[in-house]
Homo-oligomer: A and B are copies of this chain.
Amino acid sequence: MLYLTGSTLFLFSIYPMANSSKKIKEIGEDLLIKRITKNLTLGKDVMAGAGDDCAVIKSNDPQSYMLLKIDSVIEGIHYVKSTPPSAVGYKALSRAISDIAAMGGTPKHAMIGLSLRPNCNVSYVTSLYNGLSKASSPYNISIVGGETTNCSKNGTQSVTISLTGEVRKDLCCFRSKGRSGQSLFVTGKLGKSINGRHLSFTPRIEEAQWLTRNFKIRAMMDLSDGLASDLPRLAKSSNCGYSIDTNKIPRARGASIDEALCDGEDYELLFAISSKDCNKLKASWRKKFPNLTLTRIGKLSPKGTEDPDLEGGWQHF
């Protein structure tokens, strides 16, 4: 992910002054984004472009925004050659759905771009579509188009998803809407997703919609690159710091604190909520989602007070 930071694929070490003869793996993501976007003009209907889980667009409906997302899974990075194609399809679409969830939205229409080797079996493609169908069905997402391209005989296969969504304007969550003093929560348990969860997770659509409809939650994101990468992003977007107790981070079975912070691909929700609503939220959540943990991990704080100063997260290069 280049400049929608929801699921960053290029996470480079950052040089303050990159020049054009640098390789993309050598310069920082932030600088690359800056260069790419500086000459682009956005229409007045664009409420959020680069930098959130989805792009947010004013629609013809005065009550709602349109959400737009593009996201890819790559062989060798997000799955391996031996991963069943149905799992690849399921994961590819579910990742994009998770980003729609992070805005408080409802997914609507998907288009699928496949990059395949020419000797790929027909059965691989049909199984992959079975996986896409499994991911789309619970949300009545219509798969309305697709494209398959030849990545060459020895090339790397990939699945690119373009997904639209919609969200009620007053319920749309942005990373930038957190405020110092708000409590930070995460759903579920983090770390060790490589053991299988990264292929079979359930996007938190239902939970996100329940949260935004029942509580005043305006800052949210999904955890794709690991809390150690993603929390600082949310805090920075909101012009805040943060203070968390790493011992409180909910860990998947067998995961260390470090793995819970850095493994990535959790696809859980991270959100901020007024601290006075914490107790009510916890009680209501237990009743509504008895099988999914909800954990207060800390709070947003004034800018410059990042405690601990997190590093790490999912590095692709």
Contact = CB atoms under 8 A, between A and B. Distances in A.
A123 to B, nearest CB: 3
B10 A148 contact: yes
A117 to B, nearest CB: 9
B152 A39 contact: no
B143 A40 contact: yes
Interface in A1-35: 1-4, 7, 9-10, 18-27, 32, 35
Contacts of A50: 144-146
Interface in A107-149: 108-109, 111-116, 118-123, 125-126, 129-130, 133, 136-137, 140, 142-149
Contacts of A40: 129, 133, 136, 142-143
Interface stretch (A158-166, A179-187, A252-260): A158-166
In the A-B complex, the 9 residue pairs with the smallest Cβ-Cβ separation, listed nearest first, are A20-B123, A60-B61, A55-B144, A2-B148, A162-B162, A70-B111, A43-B142, A49-B144, A25-B118
Contacts of A60: 59-61, 64
Interface stretch (A71-79, A214-222, A233-241, A274-282): A71-79
Nearest to A123: B20
Nearest to A49: B144
A46 interface: yes
Q: How large is the interface on A (under 10, 10 to 19, 20 to 34, 35 or more residues)?
A: 35 or more
A305 interface: no
Interface string A159-178: 01010100000000000000
A35 B162 contact: no
Contacts of A129: 35-36, 39-40
Interface in A35-86: 35-36, 39-43, 45-46, 49-50, 54-55, 57, 59-61, 64, 68-72, 74, 76-77
A194 interface: no
